[in-house]
Amino acid sequence: MRRFHSYGPVDCEEHFCIPRQALVDRCVVQLVGNPEKGGHYFTIWAPRQTGKTWLMRQVKQEIARHFGDQFTVFNFSFGSLRGITYAPPPAGESLVLPDELRRAIVTAAVLTAATEEEAAWFVAPAQLTTLAIRTGRRIPLLPPESAAVHPDLAMARQMPSNRIVGAPDSVVAHLDALVSETTANEIMVFTFTHGIDERIRSLELLAQAWQ
């Protein structure tokens, strides 16, 4: 029995969905182009939860189905902080990455402060914003004082997240583990809280601790 589904991958066998085969075909043609001369790239501009990831998964499947002997499809996943992944080559064959793909840059959402408690205080606005986006109830980025008394804060703190939050030593340990896990050549750090001063201070503390 099918059901409505508004978050995560859509499975047309399990969920109510509208096939977008014409759109999928258009994307495949845009990417593949002339296989003998190379394809193209494009960007998808759309709000959250409108099917961007679903579309690219469908396109990946179509390219693998029809052009599997000509193309290797790579996944660049910044959101899950896993760098570059790819399917293994067929048995007996080796996959050689071009030089431009041998350097892995991984993004990391990082917020650090003098103590664990202070970091948790400053990250609360970002946690509430994430909860609001994922539940379709957008709110402005609140100051920490307002976030601390927000009725949804407990729920927001329970949501899975790849943010690295804490005192400097704790954050550095997590970043070292991330580098080890992804074999990243470079970590691109960004921070997200209400105040500009707190963002700058977070980056300064990280720079001092992570030598």
In a 13 Å sphere around the CA of 196, the CA atoms on its Cβ side amount to 0
**What mean pLDDT, rounded, does the chain reach?**
82
* Confidence (pLDDT) at 84: 47
Give the domain ranges of the chain. 21-71, 105-209
Q: What is the pLDDT of residues 143-173, one digit of tens each?
A: 999 999 999 999 999 988 889 999 999 999 9
Average pLDDT over residues 10-20: 81
Strand pairing category for 105-112 and 164-166: parallel
Q: What is the pLDDT of residues 56-114, one digit of tens each?
A: 888 888 888 887 777 766 655 444 444 445 555 666 665 555 555 556 778 899 999 99
Q: Which residues pair with 109 in a beta bridge?
A: 190
Closest by alpha carbon to 184, among 80, 85, 103? Answer: 103
What's the rounded Cα separation, in Å, for the pair 126 and 131?
Answer: 9
Range with lowest mean pLDDT among 78-82, 131-135, 187-191: 78-82
pTM value is 0.54
Contacts of residue 30, defined as CB under 8 A and 6 or more positions apart, other chains included, come to 39, 40, 42
Range with lowest mean pLDDT among 45-49, 120-124, 129-133, 192-196: 45-49
* Confidence (pLDDT) at 115: 96
For a pLDDT cut of 70, what percent of the chain falls above it? Answer: 80
Contacts of residue 85, defined as CB under 8 A and 6 or more positions apart, other chains included, come to 74, 75, 77
